[in-house]
Amino acid sequence: MTRCRALGNVPNDLMAEYYAQRASAGLIISEGVAPSPNGLGYARIPGVYSPAQIEGWKKVADAVHQKGGKVFMQLMHTGRVSHSANMPEGAKIVAPSAISADGDMWTDTQGMQKTELPEAMTTAEVEATIQEYVQAAKNAIAAGFDGVEIHAANGYLPNQFLNPGSNTRTDQYGGSIENRSRFVLEIARQTAEAIGADKTGIRFSPYNPYNGIGYFDETFATYDYLSSELNKIGILYIHLLDGAARGKEEGLELIQKIRKNFEGIFILNSGYNAARATHAIETEGADLIAFGTSFLANPDLPYRLRNELELNAPNTATFYTADAVGYTDYKNHAA
């Protein structure tokens, strides 16, 4: 989960401590990590393209492994969900088309701002961006991570390609479902080739309008197609943010359709507690459940769930601040 503690976009010792505190999770999926400077839309989020960043991530992976945990790196390119004040020199805001996300965005130097109009990527830039993901995945493995998750949810760049509201391209990356899915599927295919399909996961959030992405008519058909194609590639898992889908009949059907299409590991997330998690695993074909906010606030979450202990409440005021307060200081019964 994005926590904005990576000063200078480089992972640090405080972050290694935070992740190590949570090593009792079966699998940690990291915060969103930018595969390139263009992907750094938010203040103080980390990247994985420079030697200093790779060195920083080594400390994180080592700290988690030393405590017996496993950790995947989530590759997150923010695309049009961005502001230039957050980005390093030379980076630019890019998206499938020059259409604004029309959202609000925190910047450390200018306070709250509107997200800025992105530049439409050329076909060559789309292909270069796919290569940035592949290189970032290799860098994650070089840093000792157990795998990567391609963040294709929540309105970020891959999601911007999937949705015709943000993608009005006329080349092979826009138009039909196959074309709009091409960016995501090429990243998945080439990442799987580079680091192994068994180290490659992906995250989706169908029907979730978050970050200005909005709804579109062909949602069911798009994710039906994606899950079938990802099954052919044979990636390790699909991680579904299922909250918005559960709000509609078609969405509930889609969750089951994806489960049917995809023979790999199926992870569900959003708003789960122990009882709902058990129910989804026993009756809905889920293999794993991801816990977000509750893990943020409870470094010992498995211990607490197992022992039916009360949970710490998350402090929303410190979700995106810069220091240890509200980050590494949550009470830990198991430590």
Ligand X SMILES: Cc1cc2nc3c(=O)[nH]c(=O)nc-3n(C[C@H](O)[C@H](O)[C@H](O)COP(=O)(O)O)c2cc1C
Which tokens sit at 205?
């959030």
Residue 203 binds ligand X, judged by CB under 6 A = yes
Closest residue to ligand X: CB criterion: 292
Can you state the percent helix, strand and coil of the chain, rounding each to 5?
A: 40, 15, 45
Pick 169 or 239: Cβ nearer ligand X: 239
Tell me which stretch binds ligand X (CB under 6 A): 14-22, 58-66, 188-196, 289-297.
289-297
Q: Is 312 in the site for ligand X (CB under 6 A)?
A: no
Q: Each residue of 310-331: b (16+ CB within 10 Å) or e?
A: ebbebeeebebebeeebbbebe
Q: Which residue in 11, 32, 35, 118 binds ligand X (CB under 6 A)?
A: 32
Structure tokens at 74: 């989530």
130, 10 contact by CB (below 8 A): no
The sign of the torsion formed by the CA atoms of 131, 39, 322, 51 equals: positive
* E strand map for the chain: 28-33, 71-75, 94-95, 104-107, 111-114, 119-120, 147-151, 200-204, 237-241, 265-269, 288-290
Part in contact with ligand X (CB under 6 A); list of ranges 19-27, 35-43, 114-122, 265-273: 265-273
Q: Which is nearer to ligand X, 120 or 208 (CB)?
A: 208
Stretches 18-26, 113-121, 148-156, 299-307: which one binds ligand X (CB under 6 A)?
148-156
In whole angstroms, how close is the CB of 175 to ligand X at the nearest point? 27
Which positions are annotated as active-site residues? 156
Tokens 């299922």: give the residue: 242
In the block, tokens 């019964």 appear at 333
Answer yes or no whether residue 270 interacts with ligand X by CB under 6 A: yes
User: Is the Cβ of residue 262 or residue 327 nearer to ligand X in the bound state?
Assistant: 327
When asked if residue 74 is in the footprint of ligand X (CB under 6 A), the reply is: yes
CB of 243 to ligand X, least distance (A): 7
- Shortest gap between Cβ of 6 and ligand X (angstroms)? 12
DSSP 70-116: -EEEEE---TTS--GGGSPTT---EESSS-----EEEETTTEEEEPP
CB of 181 to ligand X, least distance (A): 19
Q: Nearer Cβ to ligand X, position 183 or 272?
A: 272
Count of residues interacting with ligand X (CB under 6 A)? 20
Q: What is the DSSP letter of 211?
A: G
184 binds ligand X (CB under 6 A): no
Q: Is 31 a residue that touches ligand X (CB under 6 A)?
A: yes
Residues sharing a CB contact under 8 Å with residue 111, sequence separation 6 or more, in sequence order:
none
Does residue 151 interact with ligand X by CB under 6 A? Answer: yes
- Where on the chain is the footprint of ligand X (CB under 6 A)? 1-2, 31-32, 74, 76, 151, 153-154, 203, 241, 269-272, 291-294, 319
